[in-house]
Amino acid sequence: MIAARENSKQVQRQAAMAALAHSDGGEIAGRLAAIALPAYENLREPENGLVMVRGRIGGDGAPFNLGEATVSRAAVRLATGEVGFGYTLGRDGQKARLIALCDALLQSNEFADTVEATVLTPLRAAMLSRGNQKAAEAAATRVDFYTLVRGEG
C-alpha cells in the first residue's frame, strides 16, 4: 500500500516536471504570481552545464553518444522543509528555479492542490493546445498518394 502511494506520487511528480519543462518560464512565473508563496531558500543557485545526449540506432541498437546539450538546474527548500529540484534545457536559470519551486510546492500538503489547479492544469492545457495546433499544421501539408492499377489481362 505504501509502495503504491509512493509510486503514484513519483508518477505525478514526473508528469508535473514534464509539463513545467515544456512550458515557457514567463508563463510559469505568471501562474505562480497568483499564489501566496511561502518563504523558501535557494539550496543551489541556478547554474548552467552540459549533459550527454545518447541515442540508439533504430531505437533498439547499441547506444552511442549523440552530442551534448546545455541544461540549467536549481534547487530550493521551503521553510517547511520540502526540497524541490528543477532542470530545463537551455540557459534559463530563472525557469529552473521556478520549476524547483513548483516541485517543492507539490510535495507540500498545504500547496499541492493549489499548484496543481493554478499552475499545472493551465500549463498542460496550453501544451495540449500547442500540440494539436502543430498536428493540424502538419496535417494540412499531407499528400495522399494513390496508384492506378492497369487492367491487363
DSSP the chain: -HHHHHHHHHHHHHHHHHHHHTS-HHHHHHHHTTS-PPPEEEEEEEEEEEEEEEEEGGGTS-EEEEEEEEEEEEEEEETTS-EEEEEEESS-HHHHHHHHHHHHHHHSTTTHHHHIIIIIHHHHHHHHHHHHHHHHHHHHT------PPP---
Residue 19 lies in a domain: yes
Mean pLDDT for all residues in the chain: 90
For 16-28, write each residue's pLDDT tens digit. 999 999 999 999 9
Of 1-10, 35-44, 97-106, which range is least confident? Answer: 1-10
Q: Residue 60 pLDDT more than 60?
A: yes
pLDDT of the residue at 148? 65
Distances in whole angstroms, Cα of residue 57 to Cα of each of 33, 64, 65: 44, 8, 11
Residue 84 lies in a domain: yes
Report the pLDDT averaged over residues 107-112. Answer: 92
For 65-87, write each residue's pLDDT tens digit. 999 999 999 999 999 999 999 99
Alpha carbon distance 36, 153 (integer Å): 80
Strand 63-78 with 40-56, pairing: antiparallel
Q: Residue 1 pLDDT more than 90?
A: no
pLDDT of the residue at 111? 93
Residue 135 lies in a domain: no
Residue 136 lies in a domain: no
- Residue 63: exposed, middle, or buried by beta-carbon count in 10 A (0-12, 13-18, 19+)? exposed
Share of the chain above pLDDT 70, in %: 95
Q: What is the pTM of this model?
A: 0.82
Residue 130 lies in a domain: no
Residue 128 lies in a domain: no
State the residue range of the domain holding 90.
2-119
Of 57-66, 124-133, 139-148, which range is least confident? Answer: 139-148
Domain count, the chain: 1
Residue 138 lies in a domain: no
